[in-house]
A and B are shown apart, each in its own frame.
Chain A
């Protein structure tokens, strides 16, 4: 039985009440350290409240319309395997896990990797059954003191995935997390929570994909924590292809030890309001992080990418390239922080954000923020925002390529710098298809 909070017209109150209500129904767990942690996260959320545009980190991203929506906290869905067929990514093989309204559905999912290679369990099961492991990792990386949404997720998350890769292991099949919001009947919100712990010298590929079904509004508030032990390697892709009524706020928090390598691509194809936070702590020598991003909002869509790289130890390396194509009346935000701590000598940090604005109604806000406290570092950053090059268009047209086709070709090439980084071929091809389609529309 799921109680309804429709009588609350304040979203925050509704969420707080839901937490207390769940707590009521708990037994001994209520006293557990994990639950106490979630309680303190809730308190933090209660104190912080939803951010307003007066908050420096939310200056260009106004969550007001999100808060005013009326969301059901109900996770029930009548979704069947058949409904998922149109959402499938052709030729995609591997561990494919479906989450509907934030809840893991084993009957829709398929885990193919042997458990010696990787342990893949649901967050719901892990938080109940594996309190020692969860106690050691859950909420240890993603800070909830300063982020209302992370605090909210930390308190409320009921499901997601927990991935553990033992030392010296290569997981040879990718792990694909498909978060489907079923908004066919009502407005739906969910709070998925993922934890990935990669052992020494182990390697894994993982992708998160988000889709919404139906005409109603959806709001996903996700947090993914990723820990790489020394010499570990990860390919991590986050793909949003949402509806025009979908809100998404997500934080990926990465913690890297010595000589670990983290490669990420964050692709936002569609969504009404999107905020991606990617926070990386390079907490080891010779740790390397590569961050690619592509966003292409149109209509009235809003896409905000915030990245933070914290170079905490010497000799670490980060390289970031985010690219945007903005059409119609869409808005984009890029905020890239690079933090080089006093001890982090011989840091190399590179950042670049390039945008093409296709219409006078579209706009882009970019803000690189470099805070460097060490003296022997190499840092560079650059942002460009402009229109498509008229000279290039004329050159192409003079060879017989019609204007629209010329535009598509130029923009597709622009997006390739990011898409070509994706190593899971079916996902790359799927994205190339969607990008091409979106550009020719």
Chain B
């Protein structure tokens, strides 16, 4: 589904991704861990199409198409979704209005009819239950004055509404209380299917207890330096990153 090879990306003079390789198949969940500043959010942003980054070499193929060639909105319509580490406030636009526009733009791209108000509301009700989110939050300006946890939950709600093929969750667990963490994880798990894949960026094993990954990768200095089964996350939790750093520097 997603094939990243030798990806280099920089911002200004600073190279952040330095030859990153990653293969993801449909149906899989991949966890990406790694120390602060390693480039995890950068990878997520580059995949979503943030224009601040220059991709200097390498390729990203998504479902047989060159992802790097597409505008952010095209990537979304092709099925990429990024749950932001720091969701942005959109003054004056309610979540409901925002999602209705987004969903119908995506449908238009795919040649589908737009949903009318009734169909949209029905879908919304359904997904609201899934992530246990309140109507009153959805009528407010998107993310404006939302608590940290509300923002994260809203990201997952958006994901549920847009049903992406590849969801990238960038530290969606940070700032969530235990109950919210379980709800968010439940939401993600319910969307798991053989056609979809998920990348979970996290610092903590805690989330991976709920969203059990097929693979765990360690990103360090702009590269995936170690990959392993879910047990790798436990090992990292126990031992920290020093041994990985030492291994990586030795190469």
A interface residues (Cβ-Cβ under 8 A, vs B): 389, 391-392, 394-403, 405, 409-410, 412-414, 416-417
Are A396 and B90 neighbours in the complex by a CB distance under 8 Å?
Answer: yes
Are B105 and A405 neighbours in the complex by a CB distance under 8 Å?
Answer: yes
The digit string for B96-113, where 1 denotes a CB below 8 A from any CB of A, is 011101110110010000
Are A392 and B71 neighbours in the complex by a CB distance under 8 Å?
Answer: no
Are A399 and B50 neighbours in the complex by a CB distance under 8 Å?
Answer: no
Are A397 and B87 neighbours in the complex by a CB distance under 8 Å?
Answer: no
Are B162 and A413 neighbours in the complex by a CB distance under 8 Å?
Answer: no
Residues of A within 8 Å of B16, CB to CB, are none
Contacts A394-B50, A397-B49, A398-B82: A403 and B73 contacting too (C-beta < 8 A)?
A: yes
- Per the bound structure, the CA–CA distance linking A400 and B74 in Å amounts to 7
Q: Is B246 an interface residue (CB 8 A)?
A: no
Q: Of A397, A400, A403, A414, which is in contact with the most chain B CB atoms at under 10 Å from its CB?
A: A400
Residues of A within 8 Å of B194, CB to CB, are none
Nearest-neighbour CB distance to chain A for B166, whole angstroms, equals 13
- Per the bound structure, the CA–CA distance linking A409 and B89 in Å amounts to 13
Residue of B nearest to A399 (CB): B102
- Count of A-B residue pairs with CB < 8 Å: 78
Q: Of B73, B82, B106, which is in contact with the most chain A CB atoms at under 10 Å from its CB?
A: B73
A-B residue pairs, 3 tightest by C-beta: A413-B92, A400-B76, A397-B72
Contacts A400-B73, A402-B73: A392 and B89 contacting too (C-beta < 8 A)?
A: yes
The answer, among B71, B84, B91, B109, for a CB contact under 8 Å with A395, is B84
Q: Of B49, B50, B75, which is in contact with the most chain A CB atoms at under 10 Å from its CB?
A: B50
Q: Is B172 an interface residue (CB 8 A)?
A: no
Q: Is B69 an interface residue (CB 8 A)?
A: no
- Per the bound structure, the CA–CA distance linking A401 and B103 in Å amounts to 8
Residues of B within 8 Å of A416, CB to CB, are 92
Nearest-neighbour CB distance to chain B for A70, whole angstroms, equals 45
- Per the bound structure, the CA–CA distance linking A400 and B162 in Å amounts to 9
Q: Is B158 an interface residue (CB 8 A)?
A: yes
> Of residues 57 to 85 in B, which have CB atoms within 8 Å of A's CB atoms?
71-73, 75-77, 81-82, 84
Residue of A nearest to B104 (CB): A400
- Per the bound structure, the CA–CA distance linking A414 and B103 in Å amounts to 22
Residues of A within 8 Å of B84, CB to CB, are 395, 398
Are B162 and A394 neighbours in the complex by a CB distance under 8 Å?
Answer: no
Nearest-neighbour CB distance to chain A for B188, whole angstroms, equals 18
- Per the bound structure, the CA–CA distance linking A303 and B239 in Å amounts to 65
- Per the bound structure, the CA–CA distance linking A166 and B173 in Å amounts to 64
Are A413 and B73 neighbours in the complex by a CB distance under 8 Å?
Answer: no
- Per the bound structure, the CA–CA distance linking A394 and B90 in Å amounts to 11
Q: Is B93 an interface residue (CB 8 A)?
A: yes
Residues of A within 8 Å of B76, CB to CB, are 397-400
- Per the bound structure, the CA–CA distance linking A397 and B89 in Å amounts to 14
- Per the bound structure, the CA–CA distance linking A412 and B77 in Å amounts to 24
- Per the bound structure, the CA–CA distance linking A120 and B11 in Å amounts to 66
Residues of A within 8 Å of B126, CB to CB, are none
Nearest-neighbour CB distance to chain A for B171, whole angstroms, equals 16
Residues of B within 8 Å of A394, CB to CB, are 48-51, 72, 88
- Per the bound structure, the CA–CA distance linking A395 and B101 in Å amounts to 13
- Per the bound structure, the CA–CA distance linking A394 and B105 in Å amounts to 15
Residues of A within 8 Å of B105, CB to CB, are 400-402, 405
Contacts A392-B90, A414-B92: A397 and B71 contacting too (C-beta < 8 A)?
A: yes
Residues of A within 8 Å of B51, CB to CB, are 394
The answer, among A392, A400, A409, for a CB contact under 8 Å with B106, is A400
Residues of A within 8 Å of B73, CB to CB, are 397-398, 400-403
Residues of A within 8 Å of B98, CB to CB, are 396, 399, 401, 409
Nearest-neighbour CB distance to chain B for A352, whole angstroms, equals 14
Nearest-neighbour CB distance to chain B for A378, whole angstroms, equals 24
Nearest-neighbour CB distance to chain A for B162, whole angstroms, equals 7
Residues of A within 8 Å of B162, CB to CB, are 399-400
Could you list some 27 contacts between A and B, CB below 8 A?
A391-B88, A392-B88, A392-B90, A394-B48, A395-B88, A396-B90, A396-B98, A397-B72, A398-B50, A398-B75, A398-B76, A398-B84, A399-B76, A399-B102, A400-B103, A400-B105, A400-B106, A400-B109, A400-B162, A401-B101, A402-B71, A402-B105, A405-B101, A412-B92, A413-B90, A413-B91, A413-B93
- Per the bound structure, the CA–CA distance linking A395 and B99 in Å amounts to 12
Nearest-neighbour CB distance to chain B for A323, whole angstroms, equals 11
Are A398 and B48 neighbours in the complex by a CB distance under 8 Å?
Answer: yes
- Per the bound structure, the CA–CA distance linking A403 and B82 in Å amounts to 17
Q: Of A399, A402, A412, A413, which is in contact with the most chain B CB atoms at under 10 Å from its CB?
A: A399
The answer, among B71, B82, B90, for a CB contact under 8 Å with A410, is B90
Nearest-neighbour CB distance to chain A for B140, whole angstroms, equals 12
- Per the bound structure, the CA–CA distance linking A375 and B222 in Å amounts to 60
Nearest-neighbour CB distance to chain B for A203, whole angstroms, equals 30
